[in-house]
Chains A and B, each alone.
Chain A
């Protein structure tokens, strides 16, 4: 009887320890679940407008200027095209070899009546074509940057003659899809490795001699550019060790 009682007490003790471990395990699991939910909920949207200048004639073609509005204001931005394989201009010829190459390589003509235009894709749809790079630097010391998965430019063929006149090229619209790379992030963007974005804007020739172009994403009062920041916890590696901890409780 006493033996049975002792056995019963021992069993109760064991059960108590097991229950405590179980409760502890559930608590840790809950913490993990909430932590993961919290991480996935760690998203925010940044808005921006830009104004800067640059030229496709430069090597490498770089457009730089100011963040003129939005949640990242004030700051600066930079966009760099990869011009590997682009020819340089020969001053001895009347042609613009470099611009001709860009138009021929990246743009294609679309001939729907009334909607005639040239659409340009940077990079082209050829796999391996290098992407355009971007960086934002806020005056507060935060940095975010990466690549454009694609920049699209469109030149309207206003007189529908199939020839891209200088006045038509001078008034381009531009848009792009952005992907940030965690290695380029500093400050408050350091933990956001799932950052993407997009923008609508214009790219207009402001100096026909130097072929300087104005890169504009309007507007300071209604910033049209967006960065969607997502903290996917890429830099932490928390999950494997956490699961390891849970397993160790039951060893």
Chain B
């Protein structure tokens, strides 16, 4: 009788184990690609712990209307109270000039130019949050090929980068990790007076179910029942 009872409980648990991934996968596909367009503002020169932030205005309905931000660790830069020193520090130490046929400067914001890698987050009012780290690459062109980044040449730049989605999201993004990429343009109406940057662009996130730990413990649990 006890053995029969144990067997029924075992079968019940097994059925639960089989059914639960089906239910889970209905909410959480194994892989998910999310593409969207965004814009926003920020100022890395006059704000300490610079934040660029804005809204997602087009793309995947899962995150349409969400807010986004990226934050840059400026603890190794000169203080924001001296934006010229800050700009000079970044430009003199981290801008690479390429004199090629179409000359340009490229600055990489990563764990070399910042004390830690920049971080990002997307917050959707109903669907949840996800975030991680990223690399931002900004390119200014030397339009007159004189080897000097003139103030007019700082009115516009292109940027791109790659992202890591960390397994720390919530809502429908809970359990996902992955990677992504983005690209766009930066405009500054008055770089001489350290105006805010306006940024717009597009982004692609490749998410996958990273709840591997749950599955491993489930198999262990099933095995232990029949020991």
Question: Which residues of A line the B interface, CB within 8 A?
Answer: 110, 112, 114-115, 117, 119, 121, 125, 127, 131, 146-147, 149-150, 152-156, 158, 171-183, 194, 196-202, 218-219, 222, 224-226, 228, 230, 232
Q: Is B127 located at the chain interface by the 8 A CB criterion?
A: no
Question: Which residues of B line the A interface, CB within 8 A?
Answer: 33, 35, 37, 58-59, 96-98, 100-102, 104, 106, 108, 110-112, 116-117, 132-133, 135, 137-139, 141, 143, 156-164, 166-168, 177-185, 201-204, 206, 210
CB pair A226 B137 closer than 8 Å: no
Could you say which residues of chain A place their CB within 8 Å of the CB of B133?
110, 112, 115, 117
Known: A110-B111, A117-B164, A198-B159. A226 touches B35 (CB 8 A): no
CB pair B183 A225 closer than 8 Å: yes
Tell me which of B135, B168, B183 contacts A176 (CB under 8 A): B183
Could you say which residues of chain A place their CB within 8 Å of the CB of B202?
200, 222, 224-226
Could you say which residues of chain A place their CB within 8 Å of the CB of B135?
119, 152, 154
CB pair A174 B162 closer than 8 Å: yes
CB distance from A144 to the nearest CB of B (A): 12
Closest to B162 in A: A154
Q: Would you give 20 A-B contacts (Cβ < 8 Å), ordered by A?
A: A112-B116, A115-B164, A125-B108, A146-B102, A147-B101, A149-B104, A149-B106, A152-B137, A154-B163, A156-B177, A173-B180, A175-B137, A177-B158, A177-B183, A183-B101, A198-B159, A198-B183, A198-B184, A200-B180, A224-B183
CB pair B141 A194 closer than 8 Å: yes
Could you say which residues of chain B place their CB within 8 Å of the CB of A222?
35, 37, 58-59, 202
CB distance from A142 to the nearest CB of B (A): 18
**For chains A and B in complex, what number of residue pairs have CB atoms within 8 angstroms?**
164
Cα-based distance from A232 to B150 in the complex (angstroms): 15
Tell me which of A114, A201, A219 contacts B181 (CB under 8 A): A201
CB distance from B176 to the nearest CB of A (A): 12
CB distance from A42 to the nearest CB of B (A): 14
Tell me which of A119, A154, A179, A194 contacts B139 (CB under 8 A): A179
Could you say which residues of chain A place their CB within 8 Å of the CB of B180?
173, 200
CB pair B185 A125 closer than 8 Å: no
CB distance from A234 to the nearest CB of B (A): 8
Cα-based distance from A36 to B185 in the complex (angstroms): 23
CB pair B108 A131 closer than 8 Å: no
Cα-based distance from A219 to B132 in the complex (angstroms): 24
Could you say which residues of chain B place their CB within 8 Å of the CB of A155?
179
Cα-based distance from A117 to B181 in the complex (angstroms): 14
CB pair A200 B183 closer than 8 Å: yes
Known: A121-B108, A194-B143. A175 touches B162 (CB 8 A): yes
CB pair B182 A175 closer than 8 Å: yes
CB pair A149 B110 closer than 8 Å: no
Chain B contact residues, majority secondary structure: strand
Cα-based distance from A110 to B134 in the complex (angstroms): 11
Could you say which residues of chain A place their CB within 8 Å of the CB of B111?
110
**7 shortest A-B CB distances, which residue pairs?**
A198-B183, A200-B181, A154-B162, A175-B160, A224-B202, A177-B139, A175-B181
Tell me which of A153, A179, A200 contacts B104 (CB under 8 A): A179
CB pair B181 A119 closer than 8 Å: no
Cα-based distance from A147 to B100 in the complex (angstroms): 9
Closest to A221 in B: B35
Known: A112-B133, A114-B167, A222-B58. A173 touches B158 (CB 8 A): no
Could you say which residues of chain A place their CB within 8 Å of the CB of B161?
152, 175
Could you say which residues of chain A place their CB within 8 Å of the CB of B33?
218
Closest to B145 in A: A234
Cα-based distance from A115 to B160 in the complex (angstroms): 19
CB pair A115 B162 closer than 8 Å: no
Tell me which of A150, A173, A180, A200 contacts B102 (CB under 8 A): A180
Could you say which residues of chain B place their CB within 8 Å of the CB of A150?
106, 108, 137, 139, 160
Cα-based distance from A181 to B103 in the complex (angstroms): 9
Could you say which residues of chain A place their CB within 8 Å of the CB of B139?
149-150, 177, 179, 196
Tell me which of A119, A121, A196 contacts B141 (CB under 8 A): A196
Cα-based distance from A248 to B162 in the complex (angstroms): 55
Tell me which of B101, B117, B185, B210 contacts A112 (CB under 8 A): B117
Closest to B168 in A: A114
